[in-house]
Structure formats: structure tokens, C-alpha cells
Chains A and B, each alone.
Chain A
């Protein structure tokens, strides 16, 4: 139950960060509220509501055959899932990941920014965004700056400062043409992921020119599986390659146990989902 006396309702991102700096006590930004509002917090003094700051755009940035895709942090997950521009990028993995988020009602409230920052359970967008080398645009009182998503998750304490507001996710155009896939495993179909995984491939002839794999749900921040990626570089596109990649993936993670699954099971599932997303990305029918 939230119990607050102070709630700011800025109308621009700049006003939001100014209010953050100007308000005493512990504060947080709130967007969709699907996680924060029910959880509440006794250590919270105020909230800054982002409902009216805009940031709900999805647009191409730049010209040429491979423009970047800029996604405002306030875009609702449901809108991300049904946007044609999003579906056109990398086999539509961001759309697929967005479609896998929670329920239809939550997707109508939850936002891209929220799905990226929630850390106490594995959300569905990060793995897909990580394999596309997505970058975050962050605003604070001193201006805007970019943070690579890999840095955000790998080094969050250093790169993300108190009061930072994520305003945009940028998907670089160079990943547009990757053959990609996203898979999620829960106890039920509508569930928090035990593990989810994304893979993206650039294939040259019969060989893998570049591979990117990311997972979430190991009990640690979402991350790219670099060992798997190096293993795959230059390898032939073949079932055996991807089976081996799955084994490498399992060996490369150090998952934690919790009430949703044990570390051992997660390790195995990282392998299984790595193999499956790679097969799917490569268009190898697994029937």
C-alpha cells in the first residue's frame, strides 16, 4: 500500500528531473506503476509521475537503408508489441518479447522504461534489447547522455546515477537485418520467466558471421553470453553448432537459486533456450 503525501506531475522530462533534484527525501519516478504502486515502500517520501511527460514515441532516426529505431521510455508495452516499425527489426524479436510480458492489462500500463529498470524479477525486454546492442538515453539535471544497455546491466552502480531518468531506448540500425529469435520459459504461459533468451545472427553464406546471445533469469542482471558468441563466430549454420552453443551457454553462466527455480535448473535452461533461439533465428525447423 503506497502511503505518500507528495506526488509531482511534471509535463516535461526536464521538469521531472528538476523536481527530483529539488525535492527532499527519497523519491522515485513512476510510469506504468504496475510494479511500484502495489509494492509500495515505507522508505519512499515522494514520487514523480511520468504520465504526462510524453516520451511515448516510436520513430526511425536517420536515413539510409538501416535507420536507428528510437523508442520513448514511456511507450506502453502493448504499443510496442503492435508497432509495425518494431516488428520490422531483427525478425521482430522486440515485438515477441513485448508480447510475452505479463498480461494484456499490465501491458496496457507497463512501459518500456519500467520493464528495463525492474530488477527484482526477470523481465522480458532486456534480453531482446541486449542482442540488438540497444543504448539508453538518460537525462538528469546536467543534461542527457548515452549508456550502452550492456553497461547499464553490467555496471549499473557506476553508470546509472541517482535521479537519472531513462528517456529513450535506441536500437542501432545495424542490427535491423539480423535473423533473431526470443524464447521464454515459465511454469505457465502467462508467468514470470524462469529464464528467457534472445539470439541474433548475421549469416554469411553457410557460416555465422556474427552471433549475439543474451539471457535474463539467472538471478543476476540480464547479460550477453560472450563465450557463446565467440564460440559461434565463423561456425557453420548447423544443428550441431547450436547444440554445442547450448552447452557452452550452460557452462558460461553462474545462476542463483530462488523459489521459482534452482540454479542447476536455470543453468540447464540457459542451454536449452540458447539452442532453441539460435535454431529459430537460423530458420532451422525444429519439428
Chain B
């Protein structure tokens, strides 16, 4: 059928399949700024203006827009003439991965067209349909306010010289400055190229047929009907692909995760597990083909409760003979770890009081706006090219080659722009099978997950039950601590050892104790698979540890902040667990050289009005009256420390080469997931080379062209990959000085590279352009270039302190978060605006963990809320005001004094919220998430004297 409408002012007439949606038509027509996120109208990435109004183009059938005017992001402006909103979003660092931003900017445009002077609430409501997973909406709202108020151009990078966005006391030229992102305006003009934006001739569409059963053996599989469907080019099953056990965990080789899965197996272990894979000429045909594959299952007994996993007689989930690295497959024990410092038993004997509490945390999903997507093809040299939305291109290359029994040298992995990742793309969940479809058909294949597959069948934050026991002396000092963890690893053991190790190793050392013990059992169940997820075990651990510390402080009658600060580690302390809990092996010693925790608290306490809040409480009073008679208000705190990379394990590489105009190419294996790492790495190189950040042209990352880097995980990029950039830049600078010396007729000693010139002590100088031209075309003729790699055996922790104000509805259990302040000692902010963005986004993700996000399953292991309507993440309307504070401590081992910042914000949120709910109501909640129903149950149990945790006061009194 034919439809006519206009796009960005130009009339189009297209022939469509009748039920085709506008999203697909627009992308087919080349308007690739329209992004597919959830395909259900819930995320907003595909927002376009339809006759001026923002709509989700995935729910609009193209046939419905006959005669209408459609505006996409490309219609707003381009790099030559950007719309003020686009400029302002970029300048303020509002765009991280930017997958959602095109839609958000269009919503903002429509809002301002209708209401040129919106207040903050109107702006939030005007963005309610645009879910952003990277940011806390803070900078987007600022940008819209600035454009509305006529203050565009006065913020962000434009105010880089201002105090708010310049760190480092003038020591540095570009490092410490909130430079605009290196991607430029195209990032918010629909030009950024994500995997789905690559076009191929002869493209086939892949699809995975998934298991409807949580535990079953495939007795027979008949693909004949699927193969007979015209347009279907391949159907892969366990019968016709290599069987190579591996782990989908994109970790360093050899991976500390068990090799307990294969590309396609004879057995399925959770609902959504792979059964077969199809390549066909259209996505619809691929779906039809999957439906035509006939599978006979022998359904096996289910194991859904982790507590039962190790019971005698429990169904054995991994009974295959070729798996390796499983701690004890016969007991469903994927991994076990324990560690002890001092003598814990003696420690408890010497305690005056012992506190014991058990906490539980739920399944959540990182839920990036861009789902997992991979495209593979054979290039002109018959090499396999894998373009994929991944955090770990080099691990992908290794795993794809091995699993497909294909030579590694014939595999090239390209990481294009990524639409958010947060750990879930540290997993090889598509690349191996997409490659297999290309190898089978010799055609390009694109495999892109639907949102329900993304949520139910990729990887999750591991659920855990955490038992904490702490022995204290009567003065409050801690003499013994014990943490026992049961981790639900789900159907496979990806990160089953290392995530729970971090639950202990990241959270326990924050508070001093001479005796510490930690143990964890990670067990298999027939449920969704655990994996890497921003924070990597630490958010689970901190929810328990910092709730528990709050409980102890209250029980001892000590101010909860004073209690934490009195027991927290100090500068110069050694991490007692570092050597015991390494990356699946013995670790390296770890000394805390910098520690800004006290300053973090000072700054947070000040902005959140903590002292005034404490002073406002009458003796014995719990919480303060809220805005309604049935609500109470309280403030809670959370402290944390994290790490910067995996010591002795993470390696980052960087290549810098000079161009004759004095600019440089920076080639990094590090993978910018939207965090802005390309920008901060460029700033580091620019600082060393004495040029402007925009003169560093960044390419990231491509296994053919960039040096090896483990990838973006473990909060390692600034610290580890940044170190490699600095090393490479220093060597390149030395060569530039060598050539400059010849031009200046001086020795290279005493020459300084700054502001685009090389200057001698004598005052003589030459431009870098002249130096670079001379190096390339002069007598010596050298391509100035250097590749450096960086490994560090240190792991300096960033520190965080947070305070939040919540209002609890005592009748419904709903928790409204009013504000959230979070200060982080990140050593030194390479780019303050981008660092703030990491904190704001991390806090918002933490709030989802604390309050709304939870993957739910029925009694047959089927996920009940595998869509964004029911899996609720915070919108701009739900998000509180988030205040990010950067604390500088100049870490001596970090590049320019930097430590990490990206994961730690998540750690502090759930405990701060739990402690605030307690402060408001006197009710202690130990099971995440705090949904209204769960909170109300806690309030009612306390009112009935059930939990005995209520500290009395005005909680239940109502006027």
C-alpha cells in the first residue's frame, strides 16, 4: 500500500507493508536519528513530531500518517546550523550514550513551542515519555531551562572557564575542564552511528528461537518447515553447529567464570534460553521461521529457589559432561569463595554485643535503551567482521573465534557507538551465533534483540541473600565482621565467582575490623542469568553493609554518621581483603593513599541540611511530619568506596600518531559506552601534548586498528586506559620535542609543549604544526607515533557519601524521594560535567534498584514483566533533584590524580533510601525493592509489634 506524508518538510510517497510502523519506514528512508528502543511506546527513543506533537513512532502505523507532517531530529538542525536545544544539550554534557537524546530533544522542542517558559515540573512532564538510562535528567532539564530562559550558550563548556566547571587550580589547560564531548554536535543531531545504523547489501535478519520451558531436554527438533519458507536462508540448532563450551562473560583470559554453555545446546535451562537461530530476508520472515521450527521437549523438574539448589535430590541443572570450571555441578554450585582475616571466632568472643541481620536483593536488569545488537559479514578478504554493541571488543573477538572454531586472525570486531551498556554488554550474548549465521549463509546478518528478549534472556544483577554478623565493643568499635552470601546465578555461571567476590571485597573493607570473614555460594537455578551490572556485586554488598551499620548505630544510640566516620578506613590503611579476594585468584596488596570520605560527608551534609534535620527531631521522635497527615519525612545516609580497575588484570592500550597540522590521532581499545571516555582520554592526550582537546581525533575501538584493551568494565577506563594514553602521549611528546629541537637549534632539554607551541627556555618557539610538518616532510622523515599499554597493581578506591530525603506514605507505602545529594572523591575530575553526569545517572539507576525495579517470575520460571510498562525505571517525572558533588584528593597513582567515578554512585543509593525510610517511619526494611506494597507490609508489621524494630515515636500517630 502507498502512503504520502512529509518528512522534515519534504514530501515523500512510499510503498509499505500494511502493518509497518513509522519507526521502520523512517529508518528505511534514511532518517536514522529515529532510534528503536523498546518498540512498545514505552522508552521514547523513537520519538518524532507528528504534526508538531511528540509521539512514539514505533506505535504509529505508517498507514495512519497519510497527509501528516513528520519531523525527526534531522529536521531540527545539523552540524552546520544546529538548533539551540542541540547546542545546549551538547554543551552541558546532557548527552551520554545519546540513544534516547534525539527523542528527548524533540520532546523539548514541542514543549517549548507550546509553552515557551515552562517551570521545572512542566519540563519534567514534557519529558515523561523519554526514558534515559545514562543520566539523571539533570543536565537535560538545565539545558531546556537555559534555552527557554534565553541563557543558551552560557552554560556547560561555554562556561568552562567558570569556577563550577574547572578543577585543578589552573595547573592544567584542558584536563579538569568541562569540554564538550569530542563527538560534536552530530551526537545530538541524529548522526551518531550505532550498530543498527550500518547498512549492508544482501542483509539477512537473524532471530533466536527461545525456550518456553525453564528446564527441558530437546528430544527432537524439526527445522524442515522453517527451511522451506521462501526467504529463509539458515536454521541453526545444536545438531549443526560446533559444540565448544565457553562462558559468555567478557572477562580476561582465562575467564574466572565456568565454561558451562555452548552456542546451541540439547538442553534448555531457563525460559528464553537459546533453542535455534534463524537468518531470513526480513525480520518478519525470521520470526515466522522461528515459529515453524518444531521442537519436542522432555520437560525436566524445575529449580527456582536458590535456597534449595544444594539440597540432596534437587534437579541438577548442569549435567553435561564437557563443562569445566564449575565448583560442584552435582550440587548446582557454580562457584564458591571464602576468605578470612584475623580470627573471627575470637573476635566475636571478645564482643560486648553482636548484631545479626539478613538482607535480600532482587533481580534487576541494566536495561540500556539500545538493546543488544550485532551485525556480521564477510569482507572482501573473506574475513569475518563483527560490528557489535559491546563493552569488550577484544574479548568478543577471542570468544567468537573460539566458539566458531574459526581463526582469530580472520575475525575483526568493531565497536561503533553504543547506546548504553552498564555491564550487560560485557557479555557475549549474540555475537557468537550471529557470526555462525554469517559463516553458514556467507551473507551479512543483523541480530537485534526485542525488549522482552533483552530483559528476560540476557544478563542481570545477581540476586543475593546476605547475612551479616558484627561484633562490637560497648564503645561501638568493631571487633569482628562476618558476611555470608547466597548468590542466585541463574541458569549459567557468568561472573558467578567474581561478582559475589566483589560483594565482599568492595563493601567490607570500608569499615575497619581486625577480624573479617566472608563466604559465598553461587548456585544455579532455572531462572534468568546473572552477570556484570554497574557496581558488580558492590551495590548488593553496600545495601547490606550500610543498612547494617545504620542499625548498629541506632541500637547503640550513636549518631549514624559519626558512627560510620569513626569506623571508616583512613588514609594509609591497607585493605585487609585485597590479597584474599582477587579476580578469582590471589590479589595484590592495596594501600589507601587518598581518602576524601570525610570531605564528601562534609559537603553532602551541608547541602542536605543534615545537622538541621537532626536538631529538628524531638527526643525519641521518629521522622518529621510530611506534606500530608498520612506521610512522614526522613533523611538517610549511605557511604561507600569502590575500586579503579582490576589490579594486575586490566590492561589498556593506546596509540597516538601525529598529523602534519599538529593534530593527533588517538586510537584506543577502550570502549566509550556513552560515559564520555573518548572525551576524557582526548583531554588527557591534549594536556600532555599541549594542544586543544578537539585536536585529538579519537577512534574507539576496532580490533584491527586499535591496540588491545580489556574493555570498559570494573571502573577501569579513566584510571587504567587513561594511564596508557598518558604514557603514549609522553613518548609522542618526546619525539615532537626532538624534532622541535632541530628546528629551534636547541637541545631537547628544557623545551615545553603547551598551547600548540614548543617553547625553549630562551624564549624561542615554534608551532606544533611546524614541528609536525618538519617531522613528516623534513629530512628525518618520521611518522611520530607510539603505542603504550598500561597495567596497574593498585586499585585506589573512590569514596562516596550520600544523603537523601524521602517522604513515606504510611497508608499506601509509597516512598517519594525528594532529593538526593551524592559527593564522590574521584581523585581528580578530568571533565567535571561528565563526571557529574556519571554520578547523576548512577544515583538514578540506584533509585530504580531501591524502589521500583524488579524482574518477576511465575511458578514456571517465566518472566512476568518483560516490558518497560511493567519493568519500571525512573522517568524525569519520578526522578528527584540530584545534586552531584566532586571531591578532589589527587590520587598519586592515577593519571592527573584521577580515580574512578562510574560505578560507585550506585553503591550508596539503596542503603541511603533504606536508612531514610527508617528515619521517617522507624521501620527497618531489609528486602529490596521498596515497592509500596512491601513498605506498607513493613509498616503494618511494625505497628503490630511484629518486627520489633520500631524505635517508637510519632510514627503511627495521626491527627
Cross-chain contact A104 with B628 (CB below 8 angstroms): no
Q: How many A-B residue pairs have CB under 8 A?
A: 143
Cross-chain contact B870 with A259 (CB below 8 angstroms): yes
Q: How far is the CA of A272 from the CA of B630 in the complex (A)?
A: 11
Q: Is B734 located at the chain interface by the 8 A CB criterion?
A: no
Question: Which chain A residues lie closer than 8 Å to B476 at the CB level?
Answer: none
Stretch at the interface among A31-39, A169-177, A208-216: A31-39
Cross-chain contact A187 with B872 (CB below 8 angstroms): yes
Cross-chain contact B59 with A269 (CB below 8 angstroms): no
Cross-chain contact B126 with A104 (CB below 8 angstroms): yes
**Size of chain A's interface in residues, with CB distance under 8 A?**
48
Question: Which chain A residues lie closer than 8 Å to B630 at the CB level?
Answer: 286
Stretch at the interface among B40-48, B229-237, B318-326, B365-373: B40-48
| Complex interface bits, B23-60 against A, C-beta within 8 A gives 1, otherwise 0 | 00000000000000001111010010010011110111
Q: Is B761 located at the chain interface by the 8 A CB criterion?
A: no
Cross-chain contact B59 with A103 (CB below 8 angstroms): no
Cross-chain contact B128 with A268 (CB below 8 angstroms): no
8 A Cβ contacts from A1-30 to B? 1-7, 9, 30
Q: Is B221 located at the chain interface by the 8 A CB criterion?
A: no
Known A52-B66, A106-B56; contact A7-B812, beta-carbon cutoff 8 A: no
Q: Say which size band chain B's interface belongs to.
A: 35 or more
Q: Is A105 located at the chain interface by the 8 A CB criterion?
A: yes
Cross-chain contact B61 with A30 (CB below 8 angstroms): yes
Q: How far is the CA of A187 from the CA of B864 in the complex (A)?
A: 16
Q: Is A49 located at the chain interface by the 8 A CB criterion?
A: yes
Q: Is A47 located at the chain interface by the 8 A CB criterion?
A: yes
Report 16 cross-chain contacts, Cβ distance below 8 Å, ordered by A residue.
A5-B18, A37-B59, A47-B18, A51-B64, A103-B129, A104-B125, A105-B130, A106-B59, A108-B55, A109-B56, A185-B812, A187-B851, A187-B852, A188-B875, A259-B870, A265-B932
Cross-chain contact A268 with B56 (CB below 8 angstroms): no
Q: Is B63 located at the chain interface by the 8 A CB criterion?
A: yes
Cross-chain contact A1 with B878 (CB below 8 angstroms): no
Q: How far is the CA of A258 from the CA of B63 in the complex (A)?
A: 36
Could you tell me the dominant secondary structure of chain B's interface residues? loop
Chain B minimum-CB-distance residue to A185: B812
Q: Is A117 located at the chain interface by the 8 A CB criterion?
A: no
Stretch at the interface among A131-139, A158-166, A190-198, A222-230: A190-198
Q: Is B591 located at the chain interface by the 8 A CB criterion?
A: no
8 A Cβ contacts from B826-870 to A? 851-852, 856, 864-865, 869-870
Cross-chain contact B129 with A265 (CB below 8 angstroms): no
Cross-chain contact B811 with A105 (CB below 8 angstroms): no
Cross-chain contact A262 with B59 (CB below 8 angstroms): no
Q: Is A260 located at the chain interface by the 8 A CB criterion?
A: yes
Cross-chain contact B852 with A188 (CB below 8 angstroms): yes
Question: Which chain B residues lie closer than 8 Å to A265 at the CB level?
Answer: 932-933, 936
Cross-chain contact A287 with B627 (CB below 8 angstroms): yes
Question: B18's contact among A6, A105, A191, by CB below 8 Å, is which?
Answer: A6
Q: Is A189 located at the chain interface by the 8 A CB criterion?
A: yes
Q: A34-B59, A105-B129, A287-B629 are in contact. List 14 more A-B contacts (CB 8 A).
A: A1-B283, A2-B19, A3-B287, A3-B288, A47-B61, A49-B61, A103-B129, A185-B812, A187-B852, A188-B874, A194-B932, A258-B864, A272-B812, A286-B628
Cross-chain contact A185 with B19 (CB below 8 angstroms): no
Q: Is B465 located at the chain interface by the 8 A CB criterion?
A: no
Cross-chain contact B865 with A259 (CB below 8 angstroms): yes
Question: Which chain A residues lie closer than 8 Å to B869 at the CB level?
Answer: 121, 192
Question: A104's contact among B18, B128, B288, B627, by CB below 8 Å, is which?
Answer: B128
Q: How far is the CA of A78 from the CA of B54 in the complex (A)?
A: 11
| Most chain A beta carbons < 10 A, residue from B59, B60, B877, B878 | B59
Cross-chain contact B629 with A105 (CB below 8 angstroms): no
Chain B minimum-CB-distance residue to A7: B18
Cross-chain contact B63 with A9 (CB below 8 angstroms): yes
8 A Cβ contacts from B287-306 to A? 287-288, 291
Known A52-B66, A259-B864; contact A287-B628, beta-carbon cutoff 8 A: yes
Chain B minimum-CB-distance residue to A183: B812
Chain B minimum-CB-distance residue to A33: B59
Question: Which chain A residues lie closer than 8 Å to B21 at the CB level?
Answer: 2, 37
| Complex interface bits, B1-33 against A, C-beta within 8 A gives 1, otherwise 0 | 100000000000000011101000000000000
Q: Is A87 located at the chain interface by the 8 A CB criterion?
A: no
Q: How far is the CA of A3 from the CA of B285 in the complex (A)?
A: 10
8 A Cβ contacts from B123-140 to A? 125-130
Chain B minimum-CB-distance residue to A4: B19
Q: How far is the CA of A51 from the CA of B851 in the complex (A)?
A: 39
Question: Which chain A residues lie closer than 8 Å to B877 at the CB level?
Answer: 189-190
Q: Is B284 located at the chain interface by the 8 A CB criterion?
A: yes
Cross-chain contact B41 with A3 (CB below 8 angstroms): no
Known A104-B125, A192-B869, A269-B812; contact A1-B287, beta-carbon cutoff 8 A: yes
Cross-chain contact B18 with A4 (CB below 8 angstroms): yes
Q: Is B931 located at the chain interface by the 8 A CB criterion?
A: yes
Chain B minimum-CB-distance residue to A269: B812
Q: Is B211 located at the chain interface by the 8 A CB criterion?
A: no
Chain A minimum-CB-distance residue to B125: A104
Q: How far is the CB of B28 from chain A (nearest CB, A)?
A: 15
Q: How far is the CA of A268 from the CA of B65 in the complex (A)?
A: 44
Chain B minimum-CB-distance residue to A191: B872
Q: Is B107 located at the chain interface by the 8 A CB criterion?
A: yes
Q: Is A147 located at the chain interface by the 8 A CB criterion?
A: no
